[in-house]
Amino acid sequence: MRRQLKSSIEPQIRYEENRSKLIASISHDLKTPITSIKGYVKGFRDGVANSPEKMERYFTTIYKKSIDMDRLIDELSLYSKLDMNRLPYHFEQLDLKAFLSDLTEEIRFDLERQGVSLALHTGNGDYSVWAGREKLKRAVSNMSGNSVKYNHKKQKKFR
């Protein structure tokens, strides 16, 4: 009985440890854009951004960092919903080729501003799937974002 009790507690302990690590990681990841935003705002207050070009660069950076924070908060919300088993899925039949084509166009705009080219190549055939549109969009967006973030080549092309 003691062994059975111990074996039933071990997964719960590992789960709690992983959960704590996840929360610590997300907290750390949120501090980075907040610190950056605070630094740029201080630069405005101290008069460091003293030309229109610098001001534009500061505003652009603050905007990008706020987008990063928004993404991190969305991830935190997602983890919370997963943790509580309250993540709703809304499956629908999608034409995957059309969906990815539209999403590629949407993503391409942001990537081109970062000097990244993106191309979608599909073959012939039926690409009808049952999927959650928002979850699929999130997964593809996360993959493209991570591809840019962790690709250190000068010319970035994704196909």
Residue that wins the pLDDT comparison between 157 and 50: 50
For 89-152, give the DSSP string: --EEEEEHHHHHHHHHHHHHHHHHHTTEEE-----SS--EEEEEHHHHHHHHHHHHHHHHHT--
The predicted-structure confidence for 21-42, as pLDDT tens digits, reads as follows 877 877 788 888 898 899 989 9
Instruction: For the chain, give every domain's residue range.
Output: 2-83, 91-158
> What are the structure tokens assigned to 103, written together?
């999403």
Q: State the pLDDT at residue 16.
A: 83
Whole-prediction pTM: 0.49
Residue that wins the pLDDT comparison between 116 and 85: 116
Average pLDDT on 119-137 reads: 85
CATH fold group of domain 91-158? Heat Shock Protein 90 (3.30.565)
Q: How confident is the model at residue 158 (pLDDT cuts 50, 70, 90)?
A: low
Q: State the pLDDT at residue 53.
A: 92
Q: Where is mean pLDDT largest: 18-22, 104-108, 141-145?
A: 104-108
Q: Are 60 and 89 in contact (CB under 8 A)?
A: no
Answer whether 2-83 and 91-158 agree in fold.
Answer: no
CATH number of 2-83: 1.10.287.130
Which amino acid, residue 110?
D
Q: State the pLDDT at residue 154.
A: 65
Q: What is the number of alpha carbons within 13 Å of residue 72 lying toward its C-beta?
A: 19
The predicted-structure confidence for 62-91, as pLDDT tens digits, reads as follows 998 898 888 888 878 777 777 676 666 778
Which is nearest to 121 in space by CA: 82, 158, 93?
A: 158
The predicted-structure confidence for 50-60, as pLDDT tens digits, reads as follows 999 999 999 99
Q: State the pLDDT at residue 159.
A: 54
